[in-house]
C-alpha cells in the first residue's frame, strides 16, 4: 500500500494557500530551502507536477488544484476532530459540489439547488459548468456530489454513474417584441426561414427540436448556436433571433419586458436529470435536491 506523506501535503497546501514559498515559510517557521526540497520530494513521490511559476508567485497546476481541494477537506476534517476532542463547537459547513451542464438554464439550476441551502447544517456550495462529458468524468473522479443536465449519461461515455430524472417541462418559443409580432402569426409554420437561436447540436434538447422542425417541414434560418444557455438568452433578449424556452421559465422571461411568447412547441419536452456516482444517494444536500425538485422547480410546468 502506498502511503501519503502528510507533512509534505501540509507544506504544499500552505504554499498554495499563501501564494508563495516565502509567505508559507513565515507561517511554517521553516527556511525556504527546506520547504522547496519537501515540495520537490512530494512531486517526485506522486509523479506529478503540482506547482508552476506565475510572475513572482506559485500557482497550482490542474492536478495541483485537485490535490489542493482534497487537502482542504483533509485538514478541515483534522481541525474538526481536534475541536470535537477538545469539546469546542464546530461550525464547519457541509460542502456541496454541483456540476451544471452548460445547456441547462441557470434559473432552472438555481431552483433545483436552492432547497439544499436551507438544511439545518450550514452548506458551502461549489458549482462548476461544463459539458456533460467533462462533468460526468469529474463525477466519476468524485469531484462532484451531483451533476445536473438535460440528458442522462449514456454508455458511450464509459463512466459508472447513475442518472435520475428530476422532472420535465414543455417548451415555448419566445423572442423580442418586434420578432414575436411577426412570427406569432401562423406559428409554427411561420418559423420557416425565421432567424433562430439554438443550443448546439450535441445536446438532447437540440435533437428534439430538430426532429420537431422536420416533422413540420419547417426549415428555419439558424443564426446562432450556443453551448451556454445564458449566452443564448442574452442574444435572444437583444433581438438576434427567436429561441426555445422551458415553459417553467416563460413567466419569468416575460417579466423582463422585451420577450414575448410566439407559440408552444407541442410534442417537445425538456428533461432535467440529476446524475450521481452512487445509485443510492446519501449526501443530505443531494437528497434535498431530489426530494424538492418536482415541487420547487417544476411545479409551474404542470
When pLDDT is cut at 50, 70 and 90, the band that residue 218 belongs to is: very high
pLDDT in tens, 131-140: 888 999 888 8
Report the C-alpha gap between 94 and 152 in whole angstroms.
27
pLDDT of residue 143: 87
How many residues in the chain? 302
Nearest alpha carbon to residue 99 among 158, 44, 153 = 153
pLDDT tens sequence across 79-128: 778 876 765 655 667 889 999 998 888 888 999 999 999 888 788 899 99
Domains 94-167+272-301 and 168-270 fall in the same CATH topology: yes
Average pLDDT over residues 151-170: 87
Does pLDDT of 55 surpass 90? no
Rounded CA-CA distance 151/271 in Å is 7
- DSSP letter at 155? G
Integer Cα distance of 90 and 292 in angstroms: 28
**pLDDT band at residue 302, thresholds of 50, 70 and 90?**
very low
Q: Are 237 and 210 in contact (CB under 8 A)?
A: no
CATH for the 6-85 domain, from 3.30.479.30, 3.40.30.10, 3.90.550.10, 1.10.10.10 = 1.10.10.10
Q: Are 52 and 111 in contact (CB under 8 A)?
A: no
Mean pLDDT in residue range 37-42 = 94
Domain 94-167+272-301 has CATH 3.40.190.10: yes
Q: Indicate whether 300 pLDDT > 60.
A: no
Nearest partner of 113 among 134, 103, 233, 123, judged by Cα: 123
Angle at which helices 6-18 and 62-85 pack, to 10 degrees? 110
How many CB atoms neighbour CB 32 within 10 A? 12
**pTM of the predicted model as reported, rounded to 2 decimal places:** 0.65
Which residues, other chains included, contact 229 with Cβ-Cβ below 8 Å and sequence gap of 6+? 102, 103, 104, 105, 106, 199
Topology, domain 168-270? D-Maltodextrin-Binding Protein; domain 2 (3.40.190)
Where do the domains of the chain lie?
6-85, 94-167+272-301, 168-270
Helix axes 6-18, 32-46, angle to 10 degrees: 120
Q: What is the dihedral of CA 285, 289, 290, 292, to 10 degrees?
A: 130
Mean pLDDT of the residues in the chain: 89
Tell me the pLDDT tens digit for each residue of 265-278. 988 988 899 999 88
**Helix or strand holding residue 235 (H, E):** helix 229-237
Q: Which three cell numbers stand for residue 54?
A: 506565475
Say how many Å lie between the first and final Cα of the chain, rounded.
Answer: 54
Q: How confident is the model at residue 301 (pLDDT cuts 50, 70, 90)?
A: very low
Amino acid at each position: 500500500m502506498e502511503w501519503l506523506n502528510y507533512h509534505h501535503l501540509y507544506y504544499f497546501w500552505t504554499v498554495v494557500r499563501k501564494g508563495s514559498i516565502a509567505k508559507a515559510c513565515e507561517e511554517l517557521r521553516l527556511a525556504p530551502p527546506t520547504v522547496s526540497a519537501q515540495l520537490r520530494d512530494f512531486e517526485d513521490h506522486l509523479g506529478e507536477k503540482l506547482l508552476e511559476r506565475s510572475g513572482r508567485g506559485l500557482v497550482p497546476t490542474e492536478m495541483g488544484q485537485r490535490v489542493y481541494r482534497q487537502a482542504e477537506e483533509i485538514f478541515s476534517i483534522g481541525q474538526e476532530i481536534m475541536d470535537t476532542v477538545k469539546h469546542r463547537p464546530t461550525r464547519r459547513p457541509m460542502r456541496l459540489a454541483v456540476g451544471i451542464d452548460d445547456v441547462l438554464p441557470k434559473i432552472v439550476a438555481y431552483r433545483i439547488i436552492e432547497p439544499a441551502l436551507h438544511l439545518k447544517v450550514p452548506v458551502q456550495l461549489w458549482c462548476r459548468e461544463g459539458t456533460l462529458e467533462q462533468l460526468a468524468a469529474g463525477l466519476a473522479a468524485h469531484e462532484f456530489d451531483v451533476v445536473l443536465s438535460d440528458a442522462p449519461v449514456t454508455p458511450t461515455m464509459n463512466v459508472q454513474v447513475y442518472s435520475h430524472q428530476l422532472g420535465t417541462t414543455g417548451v415555448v418559443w419566445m423572442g423580442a417584441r418586434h420578432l414575436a409580432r411577426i412570427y406569432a402569426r401562423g406559428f409554427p409554420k411561420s418559423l420557416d426561414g425565421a432567424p433562430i437561436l439554438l443550443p448546439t447540436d450535441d445536446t438532447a434538447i437540440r435533437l428534439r427540436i430538430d426532429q420537431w422542425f422536420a416533422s413540420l417541414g419547417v426549415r428555419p434560418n439558424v443564426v446562432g448556436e450556443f453551448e451556454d444557455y445564458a449566452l443564448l438568452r442574452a442574444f435572444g433578449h437583444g433581438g438576434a433571433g427567436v429561441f426555445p424556452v422551458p415553459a417553467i421559465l416563460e413567466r419569468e422571461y416575460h417579466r423582463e419586458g422585451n420577450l414575448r411568447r410566439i407559440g408552444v412547441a407541442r410534442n417537445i419536452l425538456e428533461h432535467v436529470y440529476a446524475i450521481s456516482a452512487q445509485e443510492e444517494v446519501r449526501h443530505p444536500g443531494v437528497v434535498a435536491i431530489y426530494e424538492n425538485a418536482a415541487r420547487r422547480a417544476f411545479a409551474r410546468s404542470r
